[in-house]
Amino acid sequence: MKRATLILSTLLISPTLFAGGYRVSLQGQKALGMGHTGVAMAESAEVVFFNPAGMTQLENELELIAGLTLVDSTIAYQNSDTNASVKTDNPLGTPINLYISKKQSDQLSYGLGIYTPYGNTVKYEDDWAGSHLVNNITLKAIYVQPTIAYQINDTYSIGGGPTLAIGEVEFNKNLTTALVDENGDRANVTISEDGITEWGYNIGLFSKVSNDFSWGVSYRSEITMKARGGKADFENIPTSMATTYPDATFDADLVLPAELNIGFSYKTSKATTFAFELNRAYWSSYKSLDINISNGVKTINARNYQDADTFRFGVQHDHNDDLTLRAGIYFDNTPVQDGYFAPETPRNDAVGYTLGATYKVQQNLELDFSFLVLKFDEIDASYDHILQTDGSSQSFAGSYHSQAITYGFGLNYLF
């Protein structure tokens, strides 16, 4: 039983990805081109996500935006003791976004957002040094956000609405560093769950102080994704241990932290706008991941994350009536503390460099483009809380270097 507890205690380490451990902000192509600033930029229906109050500032009666981002991400790991190295072979990620904004009157607007804030795949080589922690993980999450906004006066607008989160996850790892079946195949386990749904909310305040200066605040609530009756399938178990590792189910609660966003935008000329934004993610609510296994075993995976800030800067310039150019940079601080650095989502401090453009094909049709290079600081780190059969904890350490490059495309239709 102790050995089974050891294996099961690390099954859900990887859902830190679901909580944003390896998160790339990709919720709008216009905003991404400016360092993903958007809380004080009422430029398009993307404000449904960034600050719903900004919908009242849109000029068109109806706006429809559809976007797709291609994500090419890699993680390189080197063992601290042996110098053995490995690099992930991650497939191309394809998060989407769809926004609709409708102006009902001069004061009232409503909209809908459908987007994928959490979605990633990490795939290591077979039998790598950390295969007892993770071989591969695939995450899919979709948010559906109906929103309403009201303009109080010429300066202030408010907005908000509920958020429906829909998610699924699949994760595979070897049971130990050495356990094999009679054919020499590594014993492994796959956990999976889909159709997880939970509700949250978002609210926003937008202030247009003048034609040149605006500021905004938005807040997205914490959402706890509750996995119930997920599958835990064990494979390549030696016959002598088949009763020790039967297929099972699990329950677990996964915290997606609340976020507060504050920003301003300023037009230095008719053609040029600068924006600054501060995002705070309240990761300190994520103390541990508690797992209840159907055989009665309860496990606790320590996380002890800390609140983390991201600082964003962007500039937009209207080159002419048909072409708008953008650039930005952001500094993303990790929520992971020393001793809690897990290989499935090596989420260290990062700097993002962005470019973007919008081309007006015709009066009511625009094409958006964005480009992001996200470089994570190389780090020597460890996860020091791998439970052993005698109750002690083991560490897994190494050097990590991660990077993500994204290519974004968007289509805007204006009515």
Q: What is the pLDDT of residues 116-153, one digit of tens each?
A: 887 667 888 888 888 888 888 887 778 999 999 999 99
Residue 379 · residue 348 · CB < 8 Å: yes
On the question of pLDDT at 23 being above 70, the answer is: no
Q: Which tops the pLDDT comparison, 312 or 402?
A: 312
| Burial zone of 296 (CB within 10 Å; 0-12 exposed, 13-18 middle, 19+ buried) | exposed
On the question of pLDDT at 386 being above 60, the answer is: yes
Q: What is the pLDDT of residues 154-190, one digit of tens each?
A: 999 999 999 999 988 788 888 888 889 999 889 888 8
Q: CA-to-CA distance for 356 and 236, rounded, in angstroms?
A: 49
pLDDT of the residue at 4: 42
On the question of pLDDT at 380 being above 80, the answer is: yes
Closest CA to 44 of 69, 65, 27, 67: 65
Q: What are phi and psi of 170, to 5 degrees?
A: -135, 135
> In this structure, what DSSP letter does residue 378 have?
P
Q: What is the pLDDT of residues 265-320, one digit of tens each?
A: 999 999 999 999 999 999 898 887 776 767 655 566 778 889 999 999 999 999 99
On the question of pLDDT at 16 being above 60, the answer is: no
Distances 290 to 22, 135, 241 between C-alpha atoms, Å: 20, 21, 25
Task: Calculate the CA 158 to chain-centre distance.
Answer: 26
Q: CA-to-CA distance for 45 and 67, rounded, in angstroms?
A: 12
Q: Which two tokens stand for residue 312?
A: 């964003």
- State the pLDDT confidence band at 8, using cuts at 50, 70 and 90: very low
pLDDT of the residue at 78: 86
- CATH homologous superfamily for the domain 2-414: Outer membrane protein transport protein (OMPP1/FadL/TodX) (2.40.160.60)
Task: Calculate the CA 69 to chain-centre distance.
Answer: 13
Distances 46 to 23, 101, 148, 272, 296 between C-alpha atoms, Å: 19, 9, 14, 19, 46
On the question of pLDDT at 6 being above 70, the answer is: no
Q: Which residue has the tokens 């993303």?
A: 332
Closest CA to 163 of 259, 83, 81, 253: 259
On the question of pLDDT at 409 being above 70, the answer is: yes
Closest CA to 65 of 39, 37, 92, 46: 46
Q: Which tops the pLDDT comparison, 3 or 367?
A: 367
409: helix, coil or strand?
strand
Q: CA-to-CA distance for 12 and 365, rounded, in angstroms?
A: 45
59: helix, coil or strand?
coil
Q: What's the CA angle centered on 228, arms 227 and 231, to 5 degrees?
A: 90
Residue 263 · residue 277 · CB < 8 Å: yes
Q: What's the CA angle centered on 134, arms 130 and 138, to 5 degrees?
A: 150
pLDDT of the residue at 345: 66
pLDDT of the residue at 282: 93
**Three-state SS across 301-330?**
EECCCCCEEEEEEEEEEECCCCEEEEEEEE
* This prediction's pTM: 0.88
Percent of the chain with pLDDT over 90: 52
pLDDT of the residue at 297: 52
On the question of pLDDT at 385 being above 90, the answer is: no
Helices (H), 164-257: none
pLDDT of the residue at 27: 92
Q: Which tops the pLDDT comparison, 17 or 99?
A: 99
Closest CA to 362 of 304, 321, 305, 310: 321
Q: What are phi and psi of 120, to 5 degrees?
A: -165, 160
pLDDT of the residue at 113: 98
Q: Give the count of alpha carbons within 13 A of 142, CB side only.
A: 10
Q: What is the pLDDT of residues 47-96, one digit of tens each?
A: 999 999 999 999 999 999 999 999 998 888 888 777 888 888 888 888 89
pLDDT of the residue at 13: 38
Q: What is the pLDDT of residues 311-370, one digit of tens each?
A: 999 999 999 999 999 999 999 999 988 888 877 666 789 999 999 999 999 999 999 999
Please state, rounded to an integer, the average pLDDT across all residues of the chain: 87
On the question of pLDDT at 97 being above 80, the answer is: yes
